[in-house]
Amino acid sequence: MTRLYTMPGTCSLAANIAVAWLDAPVEIANMEYGDHKKDEYLSINPKGKVPALQFDDGDVLTELAAILAYLGATYGTQGYARDERLGYREAEALSFMTSEVHASYGPHFAAQAFAESESAQEEVKKKAYETLAGHYERLNANLEENGGQWYLGEKSFADAFLYVLVRWLDQTPIKLDDYPSLKAHRDRMEADDGVRKALARQDMEPQGS
Ligand SMILES: N[C@@H](CCC(=O)N[C@@H](CS)C(=O)NCC(=O)O)C(=O)O
């Protein structure tokens, strides 16, 4: 069976949510933090990152946006990887979330990769939080422009990734209360059966009340 490698707290949750929403025949292999740097997993994904999707023939697909495209094209009936408006808007949203928002977390998750001294690391992190605050403004505005319920106006994989990004806010000085629509989106997601199933499969709890 196709297997999705995940780890608690990571962006792999978005792919796990997609599997739940699609009811796709994909086994979730949830690793403990640290297992992603062990030889066994590195032989599957030499990048040492999650998510990774391993097919029956041993072939492996990495990169969250590509995995979502594959899941949508293989098991979905609309949206991503389909020749429809929602599909190209999903591609646009997921590219932004991956290459701009997620990437801007670099200094937060690994400040030592950006500066040597502790004070320089603090400075780099401060700048990253400023950039991130701007990104969350945009995410909140996009959500509101599309009616405030779902990121693209109807439920899509963009909501799964947005949910992950909103969860990460509590690790930063940025306040979720400053983005009421994002907060309501998080609560809407946590009322969803597929999201709850995916959270449980990754040993994670809902964050809202
Ligand atoms: N560009 C990759 C990024 C994947 C990524 O950074 N995954 C993080 C979790 S969100 C990870 O595995 N981090 C572990 C590490 O870097 O040690 C994608 O979009 O899938």
- Per-residue pLDDT averaged across 164-174, rounded? 97
Q: Say how many Å lie between the CA of residue 11 and the centre of ligand 1.
A: 7
pLDDT band at 147 (very low <50, low <70, confident <90, very high): very high
Average pLDDT for residues 7-29, to the nearest whole number?
A: 98
pTM, two decimals, is 0.96
Cβ < 6 Å from ligand 1: which residues? 10-11, 36, 48-51, 63-64, 98
Structural contact between residues 162 and 185, judged by C-beta atoms closer than 8 angstroms: yes
**pLDDT at 97 exceeding the cut of 70:** yes
The whole-number pLDDT of residue 81 equals: 65
Q: Mean pLDDT over all residues of the chain?
A: 95
Instruction: Give the residue, by CA position, lying nearest to ligand 1 atom 14.
Output: 49
Ordered by start, the domain boundaries in the chain are: 2-75, 85-192
Question: DSSP of the chain, one letter per residue?
Answer: -EEEEE-TTSTHHHHHHHHHHHT-SEEEEEPPTTGGGSHHHHTT-TT--S-EEE-TTS-EEESHHHHHHHHHHHH-SSSTTSSSHHHHHHHHHHHHIIIIIIHHTHHHH-GGGT-SSHHHHHHHHHHHHHHHHHHHHHHHHHHHHTTSSSTTSS--HHHHHHHHHHHHGGGSS--GGG-HHHHHHHHHHHTSHHHHHHHHHTT------
The minimum-distance atom of ligand 1 relative to the CA of 10 is: 10
CA distance linking residue 209 with residue 202, whole number of Å: 19
Give nearest CA residue, ligand 1 atom 12.
49
Q: By C-alpha distance, which of 133, 197, 203, 190 is closest to 159? A: 190
Tell which atom from ligand 1 comes closest to the C-alpha of 11: 10
Q: How far is the CA of 147 from the centre of ligand 1 (A)?
A: 31
85-192: in CATH 1.10.540.10: no
The angle subtended at Cα 31 by Cα 166 and Cα 14, nearest 5°, is 30
Q: What is the model's pLDDT at position 160?
A: 98
**Quick one: average pLDDT of 164-172?**
97
pLDDT at 165 over 70: yes
Nearest-atom number in ligand 1 for the CA of 67 is 20
pLDDT at 79: 67
Q: Which atom of ligand 1 is nearest to the CA of 62?
A: 20
* Residue nearest (by alpha carbon) to ligand 1 atom 18: 63
Q: How confident is the model over 42-95, as pLDDT tens digits?
A: 999 999 999 999 999 999 999 999 999 999 999 988 766 666 788 899 999 999
Give the residue, by CA position, lying nearest to ligand 1 atom 2: 63
Q: Is the pLDDT of residue 7 over 90?
A: yes
Q: Which CATH architecture has domain 2-75?
A: 3-Layer(aba) Sandwich (3.40)
Residues 6+ away with beta carbon under 8 Å from 203: 8, 30
- For tokens 């991130």, what's the residue? 132
- CA distances from residue 32 to 19, 102, 151, 177 in whole angstroms, order as listed: 20, 21, 30, 31
Burial of 96 (0-12, 13-18, 19+ CB in 10 A): middle
* Residue type present at position 126: K
Nearest alpha carbon, ligand 1 atom 6: 49
Q: How far is the CA of 50 from the centre of ligand 1 (A)?
A: 5
What is the atom index within ligand 1 of the atom nearest the CA of 110? 16
Distance 120 CA to ligand 1 centre (A): 24
